């Protein structure tokens, strides 16, 4: 009986201590997320809403662990904060993450750490993120929302959604078309589910005060819409960030009102950067002078798209149905091959894509044909970049070698001889065979150490890091964006620090990149990255450090998106390249000579052009002559041009055509959303799909690519040129 009393007393003491600790916690925290359905492959922004009850100044930092089930995405330590008594909001940004659960929820475990105490919050917080098998698109709307939006503007926003320009479902595939063998068609007709888009578009309302202040902040949206009231409330820092984001590939629709301030007018004219274009002017009343025939302006701004539409014109319903339909076609960057059908039906052509699918299957005698794969022909879900593994091959240290087979054989043979006849006769000669139990482990340890030294000699035990910098230029040769894909490779277990200033860091998972080839042309492993979850310390995306625990001899790729690209180094005049020069054999040869003079003999020149047939033309005859053999072995070559087959998977349509990473980087030809669009807005995600730019079905588009290898860094320059005719 006494023991039971003692147990109850002990339990009550423990509970009392816990309650007292809970009551003395000086801070309570809640989470606020602007976008309840954020962009699937974009960065994640949210705010910690803190209430501090202590009269003393609370100094420390937040520590956040992001996870989904057993999968940990990383730990994030904020910058140091000092909180006095009262209410505070601490903004935070996380890199792109996608989960594999039906609720699109990421769990956050939060702690607040001071120099003296650590406060752990018991219940995890929930953050909405993207899903791996559902593409989430977002349209950001900037308006003070002090009153309801006009009905015409609400209708306009609904018409901007991707579903509004998509065919009405459900769409059932006809397995009897395309000369499908009867037994295959009958089987497909019985079990074929309806076609799924696996896509959803959401509108996100943004107050001007909450509008992005850095270009990377805009990566959370596919399209931005700025109303007249929103435009007037935006500051210069907002406008500069939006302009840079549009130039890097974003889509923007501005709805100016009757009067516009001077900084807003400068911003609108900066969007209209075409040569020969007349700048927008204000009359004496402060109103923008729009001609009666031109109430809406469509412009390519850098690598992005911008539309300036007078809001009064929209509210009065002055636009024709064709003009209204052209707006989402332009902003979503639909392919030129869709234009004719779209102009008639005001949605993209699904039947053409189904017919193309049957034609591809017919070429392989329906060897990979099955009903479920056919049902995924219109799926817009995220797809891995199968050629991305060649990045590892291209960036691996040139001096890295695998231990030759003959050395391994010699070590094994010597080991067998020592522990076999060598030990037997030597110990027998001295009549000390009873010491075999001692000599055998000594010999084994010695041989193991010798093998370890030999492997370190060949595999280079030092710390290696090498980036591939991708610099994109507009038609005038001005940088519009800069991405870095960096390889980390170590010969020993160690923690590597990467310092980021004004950019977004995302670790790349090899399961989304495909597999490359080693120096012996053998496929590399496609297992998930063995590198642990990264640790972020600082303020994302302004200034922070990322720490990664690197296993021995395990390559890791990371992507860094810079807010503002560095200015192009002098030495080559990119603005001098014209369509006439690209369209002439002699002038292309002259361009190759100029590229070699500027970037060295190992520089490689590629020229891509869209075609009406949809298959892009690549001028490979003007590459370095050394590349005629195997690019993996060629001196001065690059594995990025090594063609590989797409691997067979259960859910994706297969292609027998070989393709290289450079093709995927410049003009994505895989299935999914790239059957319909040529480009997506900047995101910073791990599958690199936002780096594709060329419309393979538009003969007016040219892409000039220069690959420059180097010891410390490889560089790719890309310039997009769109002719008027």
Q: What's the confidence (pLDDT) of residue 10?
A: 58
> Please, which pLDDT band fits residue 653 given cuts at 50, 70 and 90?
very low
Q: Which CATH class is domain 136-375?
A: alpha beta
Q: What's the confidence (pLDDT) of residue 6?
A: 58
Return the closest-CA partner of residue 124 out of 138, 110, 137: 110
Between the alpha carbon of residue 134 and those of residues 4, 197, 332, 379, 507, the distances in Å are 56, 9, 18, 9, 21
pTM as predicted: 0.87
For 522-556, what is each residue's pLDDT tens digit?
A: 445 444 456 889 999 999 999 999 999 998 888 89
Q: What's the confidence (pLDDT) of residue 355?
A: 82
> Please, which pLDDT band fits residue 622 given cuts at 50, 70 and 90?
very low
Q: From the centroid of its chain, how far is CA 440?
A: 54
Q: Judge whether residue 206 has pLDDT over 60.
A: yes
Q: What is the DSSP string of 31-49?
A: EE-S-SS--TTS-EEEEEE
Q: What's the confidence (pLDDT) of residue 680?
A: 95
Beta carbons within 8 Å of 371's beta carbon, 6+ residues apart: 175, 187, 188, 190, 191, 192, 193
Cβ count within 10 A of residue 268 = 20
Q: What's the confidence (pLDDT) of residue 187?
A: 56
Report the distance separating Cα 135 and Cα 200, nearest Å.
6
For 161-170, what is each residue's pLDDT tens digit?
A: 999 999 987 7
Report the distance separating Cα 284 and Cα 21, nearest Å.
67
Q: What is the 3-state secondary structure (H, E, C) of 214-272?
A: CHHHHHHCCEEEECHHHHHHCCHHHHHHHHHHHHCCCEEEECCCCCCCHHHHHHHHHHC
* More confident call, 548 vs 447: 548
For 210-267, what is each residue's pLDDT tens digit?
A: 888 999 999 999 999 999 999 999 999 999 999 999 999 999 999 998 778 889 988 9
What residue spans define the domains of the chain?
Answer: 24-132, 136-375, 390-397+463-722, 405-459
Bond into 548 cis (ω within 30): no
The least confident of 65-79, 320-334, 361-375, 682-696 is: 361-375
Q: Judge whether residue 638 has pLDDT over 60.
A: yes
Q: What is the DSSP string of 510-541?
A: GGGTB--B-TTSPBPP-PPP-SPPPEEEEETT
Q: What's the confidence (pLDDT) of residue 636?
A: 46
For 705-717, what is each residue's pLDDT tens digit?
A: 999 998 889 999 9
Largest Cα separation within the chain, whole Å, is 114
Cβ contact 563:244 at 8 Å: yes
Q: With residue 558 as reference, give the H or E element that holds it.
A: strand 556-562
What topology does CATH give the domain 24-132?
Immunoglobulin-like (2.60.40)
Q: From the centroid of its chain, how far is CA 530?
A: 20
């Amino acid at each position: 009986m006494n023991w039971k009393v003692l147990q109850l007393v002990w339990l009550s003491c423990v509970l009392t201590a816990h309650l007292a600790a809970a009551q003395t916690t000086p801070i309570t925290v809640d989470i606020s997320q602007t976008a309840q359905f954020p962009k699937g492959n974009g960065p994640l922004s949210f705010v910690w809403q803190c209430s501090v009850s202590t009269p003393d100044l609370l100094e420390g930092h937040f520590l956040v662990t992001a996870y989904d089930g057993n999968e940990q995405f990383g730990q994030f330590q904020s910058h140091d904060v000092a909180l006095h008594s009262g209410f505070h909001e601490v903004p935070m940004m996380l890199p792109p993450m996608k989960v594999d659960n039906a609720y699109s929820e990421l769990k956050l475990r939060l702690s607040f750490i001071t120099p003296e105490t650590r406060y752990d919050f018991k219940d995890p917080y929930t953050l909405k993120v993207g899903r791996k098998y559902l593409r989430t698109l977002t349209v950001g709307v900037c308006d003070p929302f002090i009153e309801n939006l006009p009905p015409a503007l609400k209708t306009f926003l609904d018409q901007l959604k991707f579903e509004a320009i998509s065919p009405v479902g459900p769409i059932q595939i006809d397995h009897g078309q395309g000369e499908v063998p009867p037994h295959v068609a009958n089987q497909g007709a019985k079990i074929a589910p309806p076609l799924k888009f696996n896509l959803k578009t959401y509108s996100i309302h943004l107050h001007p005060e909450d509008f992005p202040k850095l270009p990377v902040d805009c990566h959370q949206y596919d399209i931005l819409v700025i109303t007249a009231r929103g435009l007037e409330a935006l500051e210069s820092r907002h406008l500069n960030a939006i302009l840079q984001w549009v130039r890097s590939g974003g889509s923007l629709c501005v709805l100016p009102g009757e009067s516009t301030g001077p900084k807003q007018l400068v911003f609108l004219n900066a969007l209209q950067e075409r040569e020969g274009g007349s700048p927008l002017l204000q009359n004496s009343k402060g109103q923008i002078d729009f001609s009666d025939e031109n109430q809406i302006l469509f412009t390519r701004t850098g690598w992005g798209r911008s539309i300036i539409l007078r809001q009064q014109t929209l509210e009065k319903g002055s636009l024709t149905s064709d003009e209204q339909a052209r707006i989402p076609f332009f902003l979503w960057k639909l392919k030129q091959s869709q234009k004719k059908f779209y102009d008639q039906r005001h949605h993209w052509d699904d039947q053409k894509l189904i017919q193309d699918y049957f034609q591809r299957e017919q070429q392989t005698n329906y060897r990979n044909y099955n009903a479920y794969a056919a049902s995924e022909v219109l799926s817009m879900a995220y797809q891995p970049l199968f050629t991305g593994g060649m990045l590892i091959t291209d960036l691996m240290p040139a001096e890295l070698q695998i231990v030759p087979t003959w050395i391994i054989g010699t070590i094994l043979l010597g080991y067998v001889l020592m522990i076999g006849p060598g030990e037997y006769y030597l110990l027998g000669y001295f009549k000390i065979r009873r010491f075999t139990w001692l000599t055998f482990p000594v010999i084994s340890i010695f041989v193991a150490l010798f093998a370890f030294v030999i492997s370190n000699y060949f595999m280079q035990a030092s710390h290696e890091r090498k980036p591939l910098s991708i610099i994109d230029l507009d038609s005038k040769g001005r940088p519009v964006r800069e991405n870095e894909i960096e390889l980390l490779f170590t010969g020993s277990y160690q923690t590597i620090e990467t310092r980021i200033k004004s950019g977004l860091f995302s670790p790349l998972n090899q399961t989304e990149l495909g597999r490359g080839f080693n120096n012996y042309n053998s496929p590399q492993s496609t297992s998930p990255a063995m590198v642990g979850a990264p640790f972020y310390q600082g303020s994302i995306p302004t200034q922070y450090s990322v720490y990664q625990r690197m296993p021995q001899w395990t390559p890791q790729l990371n992507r860094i998106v810079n807010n503002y690209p560095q200015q192009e180094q002098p030495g080559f005049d990119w603005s001098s390249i014209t369509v006439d020069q690209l369209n002439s054999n002699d002038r292309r040869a002259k361009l190759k000579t100029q590229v070699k003079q500027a970037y060295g003999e190992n520089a490689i020149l590629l020229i891509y052009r869209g075609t009406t047939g949809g298959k892009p033309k690549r001028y490979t005859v003007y590459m370095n002559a050394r590349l005629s053999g195997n690019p993996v072995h060629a001196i001065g070559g690059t594995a990025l041009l090594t063609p590989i087959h797409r691997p067979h998977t259960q859910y994706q349509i297969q292609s027998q055509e070989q393709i290289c990473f450079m093709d995927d980087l410049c003009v994505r030809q895989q299935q999914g959303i790239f059957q319909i669009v040529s480009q997506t807005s900047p995101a910073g995600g791990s599958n690199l799909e936002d780096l594709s730019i060329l419309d393979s079905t538009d003969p007016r588009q040219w892409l000039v690519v220069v690959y420059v290898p180097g010891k410390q860094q490889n560089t790719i320059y890309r310039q997009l040129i769109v002719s008027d005719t």
